[in-house]
Structure 1
Amino acid sequence: MELHGVVMRFVDAQNNFDSKAYLECFTDSAIVYDEGKTHTGKAEIRQWIEHANDEYQSSMKPTNYDQSGSNALLTAEVSGTFPGSPIVLQFHLGLKDDLIDSLKITG
């Protein structure tokens, strides 16, 4: 399975709990939707991912990837210190200028 460059960096950053590298995958005005909450811009996304890394220590194993134009869907098995681990999640990505401009995580 071949991942878009930024998606590969996104997965690597998550698996290394590297919030700085994770943040570098996003545009300045990116929006993330996760667990019923919206995080807008890099400052909010940084707070969200640092909390998630500390709380859940999640890593992901991609199982499927589809891309059509600027929209992509990454399906991954996600493991961590959360109830029900591992679970399969879908990462709905909006891409812009080789960065992630939007991310919606669904189960």
Structure 2
Amino acid sequence: MDLPPAITTYLTAHNARDVDSAIAAYASDAVVIDDGRSHHGTDAVRAWLAGAAAEYTYTTELIAATRLDEERYDVVQHLEGDFPGGAVDLHYRFTLRGSSIVRLVVEP
């Protein structure tokens, strides 16, 4: 499936641990929900991205992508690394506004 540029930019940059390029895909009022915590706005999302990049070493593999409607996409990635459990499939549930990510929910 062809994903919108904002999502492919984010995924590529996040996998490369390139926080500056990843944050460029987000709207200034974006919200990220991960591990039960909400991160509101560019500064909070940047801090979340930087923390996620530094906390563990892992690899990702895109295993599925579904367009839910005009603005929402569900992307499933398989992660393996030195985090608790060592392997997990995570859903990245994106909501777009125009060409930017306005919401991302990361959950199993």
Counterpart for residue 45 of structure 2: 45
Alignment of 1:104 with 2:91, yes or no, is: no
Structure 2 unaligned spans of 5+? none
Please, what TM-score do these two structures have when normalized by structure 1?
Answer: 0.92
SS of the equivalent of 2:46 reads: helix
- The 5-angstrom pairing of residues 21-100 of structure 1 reads 21-67=21-67, 68-100=69-101
Q: Give the aligned residue type for 2:102.
A: D
Counterpart for residue 14 of structure 1: 14
Question: Which stretches of structure 1, 4 residues or longer, exceed 3 Å deviation after superposition?
Answer: none
Structure 1 unaligned spans of 5+? none
Q: CA deviation at 1:77?
A: 0.6
Aligned length: 107
Q: Contact 1:14/1:58 (CA < 8 Å) preserved in 2?
A: no
SS of the equivalent of 2:85 reads: coil
Alpha-carbon RMSD: 1.2
Further displaced range: 70-79 or 58-67: 58-67
Matched-pair identity in %: 22
